[in-house]
Structure 1
């Protein structure tokens, strides 16, 4: 098919995914803000607006759930490189459309950009297959951790850039620049991949070329190996729990920022004071910026955990051991989040976030590596696409589960997530 990947291919795939995810990190925290402002054009109740924002937030993952297995099969047929290029092209186009939707205050435009990006968003799962092609089984966990580190860096710097856009004007939803900047970054990633990224599949790997795009063989293959099927379920449970945490976190912090006093939460009071000193007096604006800062903080923890901790532990521990340690850390984090919620402690919440995120940073790449290791090399693209599809479903349902429990009692989502992590640990062991 092509020459073997050059020595620096892992660095190129890391940079490509990082730059693309940087755009994702810019847009993600702003989606609820843009969506709520645009929905006010219509005669809708607060409950209806809430449903619309929920659908907007889940539309990307819903489309990924449906289409990622297709891209996985296509990558097995035609190679990893062209599918990665297609995904980056789509990111460039749809982030640009996001900017146009913001410019014209189009709620429909926002939906179309997220749906389109979800359909064509094949970069991550194909990058995982690329790493599986170019690493030995012994080095695969470290390779997969690069994807996690790229995600963490994008998730760290993206919200910072997105938060910076909030300072461009008082009407934050009127700025199209976050979308345009994200589009430019994806265009740069596309150029980098086009020039520097070689194909990873070797000619003998192309035995799947005659299979159907919607072939169920990947699912049958995964289920035929009990350990792979259990790993797919475990990975989905872990991502479901994290999505539950991720979606309720913004609501939780917003609630604390709107209702806490400096005496109740000294750290939050100090942060709010700094924001107000910059000229933002409305409590709603302060709360939004605090949420963006919290997402950036999560990204910093993820970067350190996946870029440093995971890569060092991968030389000393097996993937299974790392997955167990990560599950235990995530379980402890959820328990601490529940306690922090009951007490209304922002400081404890910040600490609990770090414990939970370190756990996820350990468990997620370890499970992905185990899935890849136990799969047929000629089926890796399809099975990793199936795994990504399962986690996309978890990202769709996790926020619905978490936010519904949050309305009943704010600590319930974290108790529920802790219970799911117990089940995941049982499956790992």
Structure 2
């Protein structure tokens, strides 16, 4: 029988940590081989395959954008556990479809379904908000980011190894991880949202994209925070979109060097998310921690843009890794601005922002790089743009601080005048 537990507990957090890690490993397993499988469907035509890889990425992000608010609303109504379980079951079956896909069209359909079903991370964030006191959420979100990073260190390594045997084998591996996750969750994962804290019916006004955006705009502090989060998400899209192409063109890195550096990136991000977030928030608070992370990210992206050698580029990795302080701090701040029965809607809305960034970020950053290469200019403009986006995110975050201070002053005045 599955466990039921509506109280905050370390065991419940360990359960959701493992759930996210397995989910991210399943997703990461496909990273090294999906483009290669698309190339094989295109008969070795790299030009057409490159365009198709872009379409696949946009399609996945679009489905995330459209479906995450609905999944968040469903988790507020029926609980986190069934949404996580159905998500993992759906992903597992979808990876089987992708493993067997006889045509590129079937593979594309599979990618659409996986974008719609990939709900675990946003629902897991709502889960953490359910079981964790507000003052400890940033640290827990950081640990969740550590699970995310761990999955993306192990997943591509496993996928690359399986892909050497057969290009479709990693999809079977991804299916296995997701189905194992569903089984694990069914028998072990407790529910986090008590029945009395659930919405009595699905709140449809927050279960679609426009409704989720209105949800984020209902409060000045929340809307400013949403702007800061979106700009940070958008800057992040420069990393998966550019890293391989940029380092190959500018520093002539081979596949082995790229893989080793990506592993270092994953390890550094995991250390920051799992180890430093808690200490930073404990010492200086959530909003200052976000400021420090953004400042490090700005400096790191500027260094990426200007680095004349591969060694200089690698030297900037710790700065970009320290940007990882920002995300958990932002998430913890956001959870304070939503009610107990609204955490799913909140995380669904924030995930929609990630979906928007996933649709417009990759094409923007890669087109800048393509223009620089075609015109013979020194590359780096894309990372410069990422630094600018983080600077704007910092401005929005500072405005959040001012809005919170103003709100606190008004509240204090109201109490004093009673």
TM-score range for the pair, normalised by the shorter chain length: 0.7 to 0.9
Partner of 2:114: 117
**Displacement of 1:193:** 0.9
**Displacement of 1:166:** 4.6
Partner of 1:131: 128
Contact 1:2–1:202 (Cα < 8 Å) also in 2: no
Partners of 2:7 and 2:188 in 1: CA distance: 10
Partner of 1:319: 286
**Displacement of 1:57:** 2.2
Partners of 1:19 and 1:304 in 2: CA distance: 18
**Displacement of 1:117:** 0.5
SS in 1 for 2:133: coil
SS in 1 for 2:284: coil
Deviations 1:98-136 (A, max 9, x none): 3223xx5x3223212211101111111111111101011
2:260 is the alignment partner of 1:293: yes
SS in 2 for 1:207: coil
**Displacement of 1:314:** 2.7
Contact 2:163–2:170 (Cα < 8 Å) also in 1: no
Deviations 1:355-378 (A, max 9, x none): 21321x111111111111111222
**Displacement of 1:289:** 4.2
2:318 is the alignment partner of 1:354: yes
Normalised by the length of structure 1, the TM-score is 0.85
Give 2:296's match in structure 1, choosing from 317, 324, 329. 329
Partners of 1:353 and 1:215 in 2: CA distance: 35
Alpha carbons of structure 1 residues 357 and 227: separation in structure 2 relative to 1, 3 Å: same
User: Mind listing any 5+ residue stretches in structure 2 that lack a counterpart?
Assistant: 373-378, 399-418
Alpha carbons of structure 1 residues 208 and 288: separation in structure 2 relative to 1, 3 Å: farther
Partner of 1:226: 220
Deviations 1:273-313 (A, max 9, x none): xxxxxxxxxxxxxx344433333222111111111111322
Partner of 2:247: 253
Deviations 1:10-41 (A, max 9, x none): 00000011011111111123322222232226
Contact 2:42–2:48 (Cα < 8 Å) also in 1: no
Contact 1:6–1:198 (Cα < 8 Å) also in 2: no
Partners of 1:48 and 1:76 in 2: CA distance: 42
Partners of 1:187 and 1:92 in 2: CA distance: 5
SS in 2 for 1:139: helix
Deviates more, 1:184-193 or 1:133-142: 184-193
Give 1:185's match in structure 2, choosing from 156, 168, 177. 177
Partners of 2:141 and 2:21 in 1: CA distance: 13
Give 1:415's match in structure 2, choosing from 359, 384, 388. 384
Deviations 1:207-255 (A, max 9, x none): 3425324496554342121111111111111111111232111111232
Partners of 1:421 and 1:175 in 2: CA distance: 37
2:13 is the alignment partner of 1:16: no
Deviations 1:394-423 (A, max 9, x none): 122111110010012221101111111110
Alpha carbons of structure 1 residues 5 and 187: separation in structure 2 relative to 1, 3 Å: farther
User: Mind listing any 5+ residue stretches in structure 1 that lack a counterpart?
Assistant: 169-173, 261-267, 269-286
Contact 1:159–1:296 (Cα < 8 Å) also in 2: no
CA RMSD, aligned part only?
Answer: 2.1
Partners of 1:167 and 1:3 in 2: CA distance: 43
Deviates more, 1:75-84 or 1:207-216: 207-216
Partners of 1:256 and 1:120 in 2: CA distance: 37
Partners of 1:159 and 1:217 in 2: CA distance: 36
Partners of 1:165 and 1:199 in 2: CA distance: 35
SS in 2 for 1:198: coil
Partners of 2:76 and 2:54 in 1: CA distance: 34
Partner of 2:92: 92
Partner of 1:276: none
Normalised by the length of structure 2, the TM-score is 0.87
